[in-house]
Amino acid sequence: MKVFLISDNTHTLTGMRLSGVEGVVVHEREEILKELEKVKKDQEMGILLITELLVKRVQGEINEMKLSSKLPIIVEIPDRHGTSRPPDFLTRYIRESIGIKI
């Protein structure tokens, strides 16, 4: 299985390449959608890493991919500037999903 990164900056891509992850840097919505199509067609793709900023630009398409297929697993990652999510994002997500307060 392959891991692939779609990023909005070269620093994130460079860091991931050091760990053996290939990827691309894109900025425009059309470029993002083009790369998502390539990922969908690749049967060996296991994990797609995509920066949070890019996810915001194609949120509907990302949600559709998550709901329509098991693979690739889509992981939204912060870029070098950090995350835009609130500090309690994970605990709030768990509480909303399964009703357990952590």
The DSSP string of 36-47 is: HHHHHH-TTEEE
Residues spanned by the domain of 83: 2-98
8 Å CB contact between 85 and 40:
no
Q: How many domains does the chain have?
A: 1
10-32 pLDDT, tens digit per residue, is 988 998 899 999 999 999 999 99
pLDDT at 71 over 80: yes
8 Å CB contact between 1 and 42:
no
33-45 pLDDT, tens digit per residue, is 999 999 999 999 9
**E strand segments, the chain:** 2-7, 22-25, 45-51, 73-77
Task: Specify the CATH number for the domain of residue 79.
Answer: 3.40.50.10580
Q: How far apart are CA 89 and CA 84, in angstroms?
A: 10
Whole-model pTM?
Answer: 0.78
pLDDT at 100 over 90: no
